[in-house]
Structure 1
């Protein structure tokens, strides 16, 4: 018997933060008024039908580290992925161009959420998240994944050497801008990586954070707020 899995990604509208964080900023590390961030997080938890203590946040550091959690608690420091088998416990990823990766095995009742920026993706944060889920009883063939809104390849220009290094670690991620310069499409690389692990159910949110004014984008303009992408089991 499968559980019901929910996946949600916010936009930048519907909150109380002032410019340049207007309005639904959920990041507490970008210079916004802490009271506004707290109010936005409370509003999010209410909208999801969860109590504020049922949303778990991370202090993300562009690492490949994963934490397994089993209930409410403080923000988890120095990790970029969370995994749980606890129902009605939402795992939250903050992003503003990096890839939020929401994973679930509805049969086993295990979910995971990873923050896959260039560095974390290059060093295997998503692979580590899958491994942590399997240790909790998930089966790779039963895992489904949503790759959330992120900067698209044509808008993620990088030096040639960086593109080559990331491509070596995450094949399929090298891209080109409209001008033909080197770029990265981290979502494309992650989709290929997940397929290589045996995960076939991979959906990609097509929105580009740089192009969509309804989303926060660090590359489009900084300082700015952060979106939240969440996964949980009912």
Structure 2
């Protein structure tokens, strides 16, 4: 069964892999406990690592994962680890899942960057945390997300976010104010010195094979960007 898509692989002393889950897995907070547990079991089987979820709160807090979690989820929007036995998950349904890696040290990160997180600087905060841990992230992946031609926002909201991240300013295909979250994340990664940025060029609102809150509202589930390492 194919559960992971747009897979990529970096080989060094450790192998670092990234992928994105599909609609067959229920990873949203609204999913029942049994459905989510089964989804995580399947992620574990596909990656050979213990999957770790966040309670995502649209902020800029970064959690250092130093052991596989057996209960509870930390409220944060980014996780970093150097462990080779865990898979970090960033869930989304229009927001941007961002994955980061330092092949030289094995440090990896998963980031949930929605509009508030973009404005709060969750991506730069994650890069800073990795560097504080002695890592130098050199590769980033930007997963499927709502595109700048589809993400309509009020004019004042656009101005507020674009004042912090100018590259995020956009216009919908129907001519109204919008934000391009992916372009904003890409700009923040570039400003942090990360030039190897690999983008999954998919708009979640336009492509029905991906969850989208903008398209489906409360009925939408969540997919996840997944990053893990192994020998």
Q: TM-score, normalised by structure 2?
A: 0.90
Per-residue CA deviations over 1:166-187 (Å, capped at 9, x if unaligned) read 1111120011111111101111
Q: Does 1:55 align with 2:61?
A: no
Q: Does 1:68 align with 2:102?
A: no
Q: Are the aligned partners of 1:58 and 1:75 in contact in 2 as well (CA < 8 Å)?
A: no
Question: Which SS does the other structure have where 2:215 is aligned?
Answer: coil
Q: Are the aligned partners of 1:171 and 1:193 in contact in 2 as well (CA < 8 Å)?
A: no
Aligned equivalent of 1:35: 34
Supply the RMSD in Å over aligned alpha carbons.
Answer: 1.2
Aligned equivalent of 2:190: 195
Which runs of 4 or more aligned residues in structure 1 lie more than 3 Å from their structure 2 counterparts after TM superposition? none
Partners of 2:162 and 2:176 in 1: CA distance: 15
Aligned equivalent of 1:137: 134
Partners of 1:120 and 1:129 in 2: CA distance: 11
Partners of 1:154 and 1:192 in 2: CA distance: 18
Cα deviation for residue 4 of structure 1 reads 1.3
Of 10, 34, 37, the residue aligned with 2:21 is 10
After superposition, residues 149-168 of structure 1 pair within 5 angstroms as 149-168=144-163
Aligned equivalent of 1:117: 114
Per-residue CA deviations over 1:127-171 (Å, capped at 9, x if unaligned) read 1100111111112xx520001000001110001111111111112
Provide structure 2 residue ranges, at least 5 long, that are not aligned to the other structure: 1-11
Q: Does 1:107 align with 2:118?
A: no
Provide structure 1 residue ranges, at least 5 long, that are not aligned to the other structure: 14-23
Partners of 2:15 and 2:72 in 1: CA distance: 25
Q: Are the aligned partners of 1:57 and 1:93 in contact in 2 as well (CA < 8 Å)?
A: yes
Q: TM-score, normalised by structure 1?
A: 0.89
Question: Which SS does the other structure have where 1:157 is aligned?
Answer: coil
Aligned equivalent of 1:25: 26
